[in-house]
Structure 1
Amino acid sequence: MADRCVQLCAPLLLILLSFFFFTGVLTFPLGPDSHRRTTCGYESCHATKPDMLNVHLVPHTHDDVGWLKTVDQYYYGDRNDIQHAGVQYILDSVVDQLLKNPDRRFIYVETAFFYRWWKRQDSSMKQTVQQLVNEGRLEFVNGGWCMSDEATTHYSAVIDQMTMGLRFLNDTFGVCGRPRVAWHIDPFGHAREHASMFAQMGYDGFFFGRLDYQDRYQRMMQKEQELLWRASDSLTPPMADLFTGILPNGYNPPDGFCWDQSCSDPPIRDDPDLEDYNVDDVVKRFLNIASAQSMVYKTNHIIMTMGSDFQYENANLWYKNLDKLIHYVNAQQDLGSRVNVLYSTPSCYLQELHRANLTWALKTDDFFPYADDAHDFWTGYFSSRPALKRYERLSNSNLQTCNQLEVLGGPTSTNGPFGKGDSQTMKKAMAVAQHHDAVSGTEKQHVANDYARRLATGWQHCQVLVSNGLAVLSGSTAQRFYCDYLNISVCPLTESSKKFSVNVYNPLGRPVTWPVRLPVNGTAYAVSDAAGTSVDCQVLPLSKDTHNVRRSRGFAVNELVFEVQAPPLGFSTYSVSLLQDGPLAASTQPRTPTAIQNKFLKVTFDPDTGLLSSFSNLETTQTIKLTQNFYWYNASDGNNSESIQPSGAYIFRPNSSTPFLISSTAKTEFIQTSVVQEVRQWFSPWVSQVVRLYAHSRTLELEWTVGPLPIHDDLGKEVITRIDTSIESSEIFYTDSNGREVLQRKKDFRPTWHLKQSEPIAGNYYPINSRAYIKDDVDQLTVVTDRSQGGSSIHNGSLEIMLHRRLLYDDVRGVAEPLNETSAIFPEGLVVRGRLLLSLDRPASAADKHRPLAQEMVLQPLLTFTDGDLHPDAKLEFSGLQAALPPAVHLLTLTQWDAQSVLLRLEHQFQSWESDVNSKPVTVNLQKLFSSLEVLGVSELNLSANQWKDEMKRFEWTPQNEVKPQLKASGGRSVWEVTLKPMEIRTFLLRVRL
C-alpha cells in the first residue's frame, strides 16, 4: 500500500487540509510506510532464461486451520498421535533456513497461524522477518485468515475473513505483505463467485489444485490448464476476470521428490565415492518429469509445488536437497540441457506467464462438481454436518449485527453498562469457520465441536457489545436476555415472565416484516408495538416434535406468535403482557385441510395422503401442481462391483439411483389462526414437517425436522426432500454461487468439457448456498434455504435438497472416521431442524422477490428481551439510516475500522439480466445515508480493503478470439454520490462523527 499521507509545511496547505477533512474526501494510510527501499513482489523474482524451459520450484506448506486436529492443536503440535503437525515449528524452521541462502524462497498462506506466531516473537525476530518479506524471500499468498471452502461459504463471510487476514499483513508489512496471487490448492471444487471476489480484491492470478479428473485430462490434451476465468456475467470485463492456473500435482511435489521428514523419498546423495550415489538418477528423473509436464502447458515456464500438508517442520531437509537439485540440474546446461531450475513463488511464475503475452482460453462457468475418479464425486460435503452449517450461517448474521451496533453505539458499545464487549473474538471465530475443513463438514467430530465452541464464545463477547449498543441507542440500561434456542421453543424469560419486551434489531438496509414465535405457558397475551398500537397475536400449542427435540431444555407448553416490523439498520420494541393463564383450549384439528391461504398464496393438500398437491400465487393467478415428500439414499458401503468407494464426509455415493420413500402418506394436524396457518405433518418417527403460511407472507415455509437417522439396519442414510412440480424445466435448474450470482445447471452436462457420466445422482449434485430454482416460460419455483446444502434436479420439474446425512464408513479421504454425528443431548443420533421458503412467480420478476428474501434468511433480525415494564423514557424505535436503501442496494458491511473511521460496503444485489425494475444502476449519497453518523470524509478501497481503489493495478490478460476489454470505472455525480452497477460491490473508508 503506497503511503497516502501528504507532508504539508505551508500554512495555506494546512488550511486546505482542514477544509478537505471536514467537507470532502481525505484518504488515510492503511499500513506502515511503504516508501522504504524494498525488493519484494515481482521485483524480487529470480531471472529466468528465455531460451530454456524454466522450472519454478515453489517451497510451501499447506496448514489446515483445523481438520484432524483443532486449530490450537495444529499450531502447538499437540495430539501428534492423530497427525504429526506443529505450525509454530514450521515457521521457526523456515525463517532459520531462509537466512542461510538468499536465493531460497518460501510462501505462506494462512494468516490465522502466522498472526499467532508473529505475536509471540521478540523485536529482533520481527525485524528479521520484516527483512525477509521486504526482500521477497518470504512471500504471502492468498493471505486470508484461512483458505476458505468454496461450496458452502457465503460471500459475505468470505469477504470478512479475507479482509481480516489481509489487513493484518498490510498493517504489519505494508506493500510487501500484500499477496499478488490467490491460492486455493485444497478446496474441493471452485466457485465462480470466489474468482469474482479475488479479482475485485486485486489479485493478478489464482492457482488451485483440484478439478474433475475428466476436465483435467481434456485440458491437458488441449493445453488449457491455464485460462482466463470470466467470473461474472454482469460486471464489466475485466473487473471479474481472473487468470487461473491448475497446478500439475495438486499441491504435492512430483513423485520421488519429497524431502520432508514425513516423506520416504531418498535424499540426494552426491558423494561420488559412495556406493549409493544417485545424482545422475535424480537429474534424469527430474528432467523427464519436467519435459512431460511442459508438454501439457502452454509456455516455456512450468511450476512445481515443493511441499505438502504441514511440511517444513524441519526445513533443512527440504532446502538442502532443493539446493542440490537446482545445482545439479542446472549444471547439465553445460552439456546441452535446455532446462533451467530456480527457486520461485506463484507470483514470479505468474509474471512470466504474463510476459509471454499470449491469449488464453476463456471460462465462464465454475468447477463444480469435483470428482477424482469415476465413482468418487465430492458432493456429499455440500450437506455434511447440517447443524454446524446452520450455526455458522446464524453466527454470520449475529456478527453483522454486532459490527453494526459497535458503530452505531459508539465507544460505549465496547465498554458500557454491561461491561467490556468486543467483536474481534467473533470475527476470528467466523474467519476460522470459513476454512475448507470447517463449514464444509469434512473435519473430525472433536474439531467440529471446537469450531462450534469458538462461535459460541465469540457470540458471548458480542452479546455484551450488543447490550451496550442497544442501551446507548434506546436510553435503557435494563438487562437484556438472549434466547439462542428459539427454533426449538426454549427461552427461560418468556416461559416464566408475565410482562416483558422484545427488541427486534434489523441488520438489513430496508424494513422487514418477520414472524416471532416465543415459548410461553399462558393462553392469552397482549402485544403492542413501539407506538402502543395493539398487534394481532395468537397462542398455539407446542408440537410434540418440538417437545421431543428440545428434551429437558425448556418447559413451555405453548407458543406465542405474532409478526413484527423493524426499520432499516435499526430496532423496534414490542411489549408483551400475559392476559390469561391456565390450560389452552384445543386448537389443533387432527385432519388434513383442503387448503390454506392468505391474500397472496394458496396451497392445497391431498386429503388421502396429507401431502401438498398444488401451489398458487393469487396475485399473478399462477397455479402449479406441487407435491413434496422425504426420501433417503442408501449410502454405499464400498462393497460394490463397480467401485469400492463408500459415501463419507466428502463423497456422496448412493447405492441406487432410486431413493427410498420414507412414507407415501403423512399424519396431519391443522391449526388455523388470524396470524398463521399450520399443517403439521408426520412421516415417520424421525421425519416431520410443518407447512406454515403467515398472514402477510408471500412465501410458504416448510420447517423440517429430521433425525435421529436410524442405523439399526446397518445402512447409512442420506435424507432428501424432493419437490415435484408441473413446471417443464427440461432437466435444467439454477443455483446460486456463494449466495450471489446464479448459474444454470443441466443434468449430465458440463458447459466447457464433455462429461462421461458415471454417477447419475452424485454427479448431478451442486452446492446450494442460499437458493435454487426451476422454471419454464410461465412459472418459476424458487426455494430459499437457511444454510448451505447440496441439491439437484434429477427429474423434469423437480428439485431435491439433501437435509441430513448419517454414514457408517469413512470415505478414505483422510478424515478417518465416519460421518456419524451424536451428542450428549442426542446420543442416539443428531436431530436437525431447518426451514425452506418457497415462492412462485413469473420468471421475469422472480428475482425481485427471491434476492431480498435470501438476504433476509442470511441476515435475520436479532431478538433481545427485557423483563418487566419498559422505562418510560426508553426509545422504542430507531433506524440508523435516514431512509431505506433502494431495493437493488444491499448494505453488506458496516464495521468499525479505527477510532475515527468505519468500513462500509454497499452492493448492487441484482444481475444485469434478472429484473426489468432492479437490474439498473443505482446512486446512493453517502452523506445522506446515516441518521446518527456524520460522514466527514470518504475514500474508496478495493473489495478486501487493503488497497486504495485508484491505486489497484492488475495484470491484463487477453482471452482467445476476443479484443482485450477495457474497464470503465463506476462514477457518481459528486464525491458523495456513488453509483452501483449490477453485481457491483463498492467499499469505502468513512471518517465519521457520532
Structure 2
Amino acid sequence: RRCPSAALRDFEFPPRAGNKPPNMLNVHLVPHTHDDVGWLKTVDQYYYGDRNDIQHAGVQYILDSVVDQLLKNPDRRFIYVETAFFYRWWKRQSPSMQQTVRQLVDEGRLEFVNGGWCMSDEATTHYSAVIDQMTMGLRFLNETFGACGRPRVAWHIDPFGHAREHASMFAQMGYDGFFFGRLDYQDRTHRMVQLEQELLWRASDSLPPPTADLFTGILPNGYNPPEGFCWDQSCDDPPIRDDPDLEDYNVNDVVSRFLGIAKAQVRRTNHIIMTMGSDFQYENANLWYKNLDKLILYVNALQANGSKVNVLYSTPSCYLQELHRANLTWALKTDDFFPYADSDHDFWTGYFTSRPALKRYERISNSNLQVTCNQLEVLAGPASRTGPFGEGEKKAMAVAQHHDAVSGTEKQHVANDYARRLANGWQRCQVLVSNSLAALSASSAKRIYCDNLNISVCPLTESSRKFAVTVYNPLARPVSWAVRLPVNGSAYVSSDSGDFRRKYISAPPLGYSTYSVSLLQNGPPPASMKPRHPAAIQNEYLRVTFDPDTGLLSSLANLETKQSIKLTQNFYWYNASDGNNTESNQPSGAYIFRPNSSTPFIISQTAKTETVQTSVVQEVRQWFSPWVSQVVRLYAGSRALELEWTVGPLPIDDSLGKEVITRLDTSIQTAEVFYTDSNGREVLRRKKDFRPTWTLKQSEPIAGNYYPINSRAFIKDDADQLTVVTDRSQGGGSIHNGSLEIMLHRRLLYDDVRGVAEPLNETSHIFPDGLVVRGRLLLSLERPPVAADTHRLIAQEMVLQPLLTFTDGDLNPNTRLEVRGFSGLQAALPPAVHLLTLTQWDQDLVLLRLEHQFQSWESKVSSQPVTVSLQKLFSTMEVVGVSEMNLSANQWKDEMRRFAWAPQTGTRDPRLPHVTLRPMEIRTFLLRVVLR
C-alpha cells in the first residue's frame, strides 16, 4: 500500500494470489524489538552497544540490520516503538538512507507504534509528564514522516500493570487501539475462558463516550514469540532446516508445532496475533527474517492440501483493522489493571515506592523543566533564549518516564544516570529562567539557585544580610506559600538545622513576586521550644491533638465544618521476604513487594517530642528512632496538616530487608474501601481483596491490596473524608477498616529475580550506610460532597511548587520588605481550570493546553462546565490565530479519525474567542501570537 492519503484505512492483506483467503485462521506475525530506554545499562550504553558484559544489546545495530533486511523482501514488516533511540539513529544517517527509510515507512513496511519518546511507566508517572513525552516523540515522527509515520496503535508491552488514565490519554491522542503484554495471571485465565482478551476500555467516568473509549488487546504470549520459535542470536531454538537431503530436516516438525500453537489460541475472530521478537532482538535481523520467511512459506503451502491456516507478516494496526472489520460487540471495562501479579505470591507492587528519592527528584524536575522553563520562555519571548539550549532538559524528563526509570526498577548505576540527566537539564533551564526574569523585570542582577533547600542549605541566605527572593508561580491562579529559608540572624526562629524565619509569600497567576529581605540585628524573641508532649496545635481551620503519654497524633478536627475524627499515626516496617519459606521462594525486590508477615513491626510505641510555636507556624517534632523522625506542621491559614517525614538509613545489621510505612488509623468507617488517583487525575475506588472484573483468590493479603498513589488517596464514610496528598508516587493500601497506609522507603537484601540482578540497597558517597529520604504528606479533613474542592487544589500545589531564585543585596535600601511582581495572565483562571501546558512550538506559535481538573461527580460547584476566553488570556502576547489539536498535538482535532467507536468533533476556526471545558476535559490549541 501507499499511505499518504488514507493512512491505514485502505490497507488490504498481502495474502496469496492477492485476495484474502476465505474462512482462514489468519496468523499475524509481528516482528518487533523491545528496547528499554535504560534498565540494566544506561541509555547511551544501550544505543552504542557498550557494556555488553552486563547485557548484550546495541540499538544502533538493530536499526541498521532491520532496514537492510526489509529491503530484501517487500513482504517483510517491522514495528518500532522508542522514538528516543530512533531519533538518535536517524540523525546519524546519510540523506540517501533517510530517503530509503521514508520509502519503507510510506509503504507500511516499517511502522511506528506508540511513538512516545519512551514506553512510559503507568503506575508512578504523572499525567502531565506522560503527555509531554508522548508529544515530543510524536512531533518528531510527524515532522519527519508525515501522516505515514503517525502511530495508530498504543503499545505498552512491558509496563507492570496498566492505568485507566493512560488509556484515556491514548484515546484522546487519536489511537485506534492499545495492546499490552502483562496481565494478572488470574485475570488472564478468566479472560481466556470468557473470550475477553480483547475489550473496550471506557477510561473515564466523566468524559462522554467515546472520548475516552479505547479498544484494548492483551497479547497472548506477553511480548515474546511462542515457545520454540525464537530465532534471534540471543535464542537457543533451532533454525528451520529445510534441506530434505539433511539428516536433521525439521520442517514438518516446525510446521506441526506452529499449527498446534496457532489453533490453541482462542479468539473471537479468525485473526490471531503473534509477537516475533523480544528484548533488544534483531541485532542480526537476517536470523529472524530468514526463518520467518520459511515459516510463512511452509505453513501456507499446506493450504493446497486443505489447511485453513494463513500466516502473514503484519503489524498491530493491520491486526486491529481486521478486528474492527469483524463488527462485533466487545466486553466493557471501566476500572484499571492494578495490581499486577504473575503468580500466587508475586505481586509487582513494590515498585510503586522503589527509589523514593529518584521519584521525588523526577516530580520536582517535571515542575521545573517541563512547566516553569516552558512558561517563562513563552512569556519572556526571544530574550529568554540566549544561552546553551536545545531540548536536552525535555529529553531528560521524557527519558525519566520510562517504565524502568521513575519506576525504580533499574540498576543503581542507571538510576544515577537518570538523575544526572535531570540535573544537567536543570542547569540549562536555570539560564533560561534567569534570562526570562531579567527581561520581564528589567533587572540584570545575577540569579542564584538554592537546589538544597530540602535539607535546609542555601549558602546565599545563610551568609548574606540582605538578599532578594523571587517566587515564580506556575499555576494559573494566585497562590500563597509558607517558605522556609536557612539564615543566620537573631530575628529568626531557631531549629536543629539552623536559623529560620517563616513567612507567607504570594505570587500572581503565571507570574512572580519579588521580596527584598534584610536580617535584623535585634529581632523578635525566638519562638518557644519545649521538649514535652504537646496537648494540641491549631489554627483557624484545624485542630490537632496529641496523646500526652505517647506523643503521637490522637485526633484531627475541622473547626470550620465542626468535624472531628480519631486519628493515630505511626511508623512501621514489613520484614521483606528473603524467599526462604514454605509457601514460595519469591523474595521482595525492586519490582515485587512480599512481606514475611501480614503484621508489620512498630518502630516505636512512643515519640520523643519538641514543640515550636510562632504566629506563622506551629510544629511538633517527633523522634521515633535514630532513623525515623517527623515534623507535624500547621501553618496559620492552612486547611492542610503537614507531616514532614525523614526515614533512613534503614538498618540492615540484623540481615533483614525493611519496607517502611506510615499508617493512619482513624474512626472513619470505610468498609475496607479507599480511593486513589490514576496518574494524578481521575479517582478510582479500591476495595480490599476485590477485583471488579473477576473473583479474586487472594494469596498475599498485604501486597495484593497495594495500589499506586500518584498524588493523593483518601478514605471516607458518610460524614468524613480524610485525604492524604503525597509529594511523589508511592504505594499504599487500606488493610484495616478506617486505616490508610503508605509505603515510604525500601531497603532490600535480595534480588527478586525479575532481571535487575541486584538488590534494592541504595547507598551513596554522602550516605554510605544507606539512603536517607525526606518527604511530605498533607492531610485534609472535609465533608465528602465538597472534599474535592480542597484536595484537588492542594494536590495541584504539591505537584507544581513555586520556583525560588535569589539575588544578593537589597533591591531597595530604603525598605526592609517589598513586593514586586508580574503576571503572565490578564486575570486568574477559575479554580476548576488548570493551565496544563504553555510551551513554545515554533517562532510565533505556542502550544496551550487547558484542563478541567474536576470529575463530573466530585463537586456541586467545581464540576460544572467552564468557559475561558483565549483572546483575553495573556498579558504579554496577543492571540491572533487558534487551531485546535488532539491531546498529543500531532493532528488537527477536526481531522482526527478513530475507528468507528464514534466520530470525533472539533474546530480549527482561527477566530475562536472562547473555549468551554467540561469535567475532566483537556483541550489542546496551537496559538499564533504576537508579543505586546
Q: What is the TM-score normalised by the length of structure 2? A: 0.97
Q: Are 1:842 and 2:779 counterparts?
A: no
Report the CA distance between 1:755 and its aligned residue: 0.3
C-alpha contact 2:161 2:340 (8 A) present in aligned 1 = yes
The superposition leaves residues 588-619 of structure 1 with CA deviations (integer Å, 9 ceiling, x where unpaired) of: 11012110000111100001000000001111
Alignment match of 1:901 (pick from 816, 822, 845): 845
SS at match of 1:308: coil
The aligned counterpart of 2:412 is 445
SS of 1:893's equivalent? strand
Instruction: State the match for 1:46 in structure 2.
Output: 14
Contact 2:531-2:609 at 8 Å conserved across structures: yes
Q: Distance in 1 between matches of 2:390 and 2:743?
A: 33
Q: Does residue 514 of structure 1 match 2:514?
A: no
Residue 405 of structure 1 pairs with residue 376 of structure 2: yes
Structure 1 residue corresponding to 2:617, chosen from 673, 676, 684:
676
- Deviation of 1:970 (Å): 9.1
Q: Deviations over 1:464-493 (max 9, x none)?
A: 000000111111110001011111100010
2:280 corresponds in structure 1 to 310
Deviation of 1:845 (Å): 0.3
CA spacing shift, 1:255–1:519, aligned 2, 3 Å: same
| Residue 323, structure 1, aligned to residue 260, structure 2 | no
C-alpha spacing 1:722/1:140, structure 2 compared with 1 (3 Å): same
TM-score relative to the length of structure 1: 0.91
Is contact 2:527-2:612 (8 Å) kept?
no
Does the alignment pair 1:950 with 2:888? no
Name the aligned partner's letter for residue 231 of structure 1.
Answer: A
2:158 corresponds to: 186
Q: Which letter does structure 1 place at the counterpart of 2:377?
A: E
1:454 has 2:426 as partner: no
The alignment partner of 1:269 has SS state of coil
In structure 2, relative to structure 1, the CA distance for the partners of 1:41 and 1:141 (3 Å cut) is: farther
Instruction: State how 1:809-820 maps to structure 2 within 5 Å.
Output: 809-820=750-761
Instruction: Identify the residue that residue 833 of structure 2 maps to in structure 1.
Output: 889
Report what 1:290 is aligned to. 262
Within-5 A mapping of 1:146-225: 146-225=118-197
Root mean square deviation, CA, Å: 1.7
For residues 572 and 394 of structure 1, what CA distance do their matches in structure 2 show?
20
Percent identity (aligned): 82
**Are the aligned partners of 1:40 and 1:133 in contact in 2 as well (CA < 8 Å)?**
no
The alignment partner of 1:936 has SS state of: strand
Deviation at 1:101, TM superposition (A): 0.3
Matched, 1:414 2:385: yes
1:617-667 deviation digits (Å, cap 9, x = unpaired): 111000000000000000000001000000000000000000000000000
Amino acid at match of 1:125: M
Q: Residue type of the partner of 2:672?
A: E
- Cα deviation, 1:363-392, whole Å, max 9, x if unaligned, reads 000000000000000000000000000000
Q: Which residue of 2 aligns with 1:762?
A: 703
After TM superposition, list the pairs within 5 Å mapping 1:91-130 onto structure 2.
91-130=63-102
Alpha carbons 1:42, 1:347 under 8 Å: kept: no
Aligned-partner Cα distance in 1 for 2:456–2:402: 31
After TM superposition, list the pairs within 5 Å mapping 1:326-405 onto structure 2: 326-399=296-369, 400-405=371-376
Q: Partner of 2:862 in structure 1?
A: 918
* Match status 1:691 vs 2:632: yes
Describe the SS at the equivalent of 1:249. Answer: strand
Q: 2:574 aligns with which of 605, 610, 633?
A: 633
Deviations 1:519-558 (A, max 9, x none): 111121xxxxxxxxxxxxxx22233xxx4xxxxxxxxx21
Correspondent of 2:806 among 865, 868, 882: 865
Specify the code of the residue in structure 2 equivalent to 1:717. Answer: K
Note if contact 1:521-1:558 (Cα within 8 Å) is conserved in structure 2.
yes
Counterpart of 1:137? Answer: 109
Q: Does 1:430 align with 2:367?
A: no
**3-state SS of paired residue (2:264):** helix
SS at 2:785 equivalent = coil
Does the Cα contact within 8 Å between 2:516 and 2:812 map onto a contact in 1?
no
Alignment partners' CA distance in 1, 2:383 and 2:126 = 31
1:452-851 to 2 correspondence within 5 Å? 452-524=419-491, 539-543=492-496, 547=497, 557-580=498-521, 587-851=528-792
Distance between the aligned counterparts of 2:14 and 2:472, measured in 1?
A: 55
CA distance in 2, matches of 1:217, 1:392: 36
The one-character-per-residue Cα deviations of 1:863-900 (angstroms, maximum 9, x if unpaired) are 00000022799992000001110111000000000001
- Conserved 8 A contact 2:884-2:906: no
Checking the alignment, whether the CA contact within 8 Å between 1:206 and 1:242 is kept in structure 2 is yes
Using a 3 Å threshold, how does the CA distance of structure 1 residues 346 and 42 change in structure 2: closer, same or farther?
farther
Deviation at 1:422, TM superposition (A): 2.8
Instruction: Tell me if the contact between 1:632 and 1:660 (Cα under 8 Å) persists in the aligned partners.
Output: yes
Could you tell me which residue of structure 2 aligns to residue 5 of structure 1? Answer: none
SS of equivalent to 1:125:
helix
Q: Deviations over 1:290-344 (max 9, x none)?
A: 0001x2x111000000000000000000000000000000000011110000000
Give the Å deviation of 1:37. Answer: 7.1
> Aligned in 2, Cα 1:492/1:854: closer, same or farther, shift over 3 Å?
same
Assess, with a 3 A threshold, how the Cα gap between structure 1 residues 682 and 498 changes in structure 2: closer, same or farther: same
Asked whether the equivalents of residues 972 and 978 of structure 1 are also in contact (C-alpha less than 8 Å), the reply is no
* 1:930-986 Cα distance to aligned partner (Å, 9 max, x none): 1111001000000000000000010024xxxxxxx6766699997210100000000
Q: Is 851-860 or 764-773 further displaced after alignment?
A: 851-860
1:40/1:774 Cα in 2 relative to 1: closer, same or farther (>3 Å)? closer
Structure 2 CA distance, aligned partners of 1:41 and 1:120? 32
**Superposed CA offset, 1:834-886 (max 9, x none):** 00000000000000011111111111100000000227999920000011101
Q: In the alignment, is the contact (CA less than 8 A) between 2:378 and 2:846 conserved in 1?
A: yes
**Residue pair 1:38, 1:134 contacting (<8 A) in 2 also:** no
Distance (whole Å) between structure 2 residues aligned to residue 88 and residue 225 of structure 1: 34
CA distance in 2, matches of 1:864, 1:601: 32
Say whether the 8 Å CA contact 1:823–1:830 is kept in structure 2.
Answer: yes
Q: CA deviation at 1:901?
A: 0.6
**Whole-Å Cα distance in 1 between the matches of residues 379 and 904 of structure 2?**
36
- Conserved 8 A contact 1:676-1:692: yes
SS at match of 1:846: helix
Greater than 4 Å deviation, 4+ residue runs? 34-42, 581-586, 871-875, 965-974
Contact (CA 8 Å) 1:42, 1:348: kept in 2 or not? no
- Say if 1:809 and 1:819, in contact at 8 Å, map to a contact too: yes
8 A Cα contact 2:475 2:510, kept in partner: yes
> Distance in 1 between the 2:314 and 2:767 partners?
51
3-state DSSP of counterpart to 1:332? helix
Give the secondary structure class of the aligned counterpart of 1:397. Answer: helix
Report the alpha carbon displacement of residue 515 of structure 1 after superposing the two structures with TM: 1.1
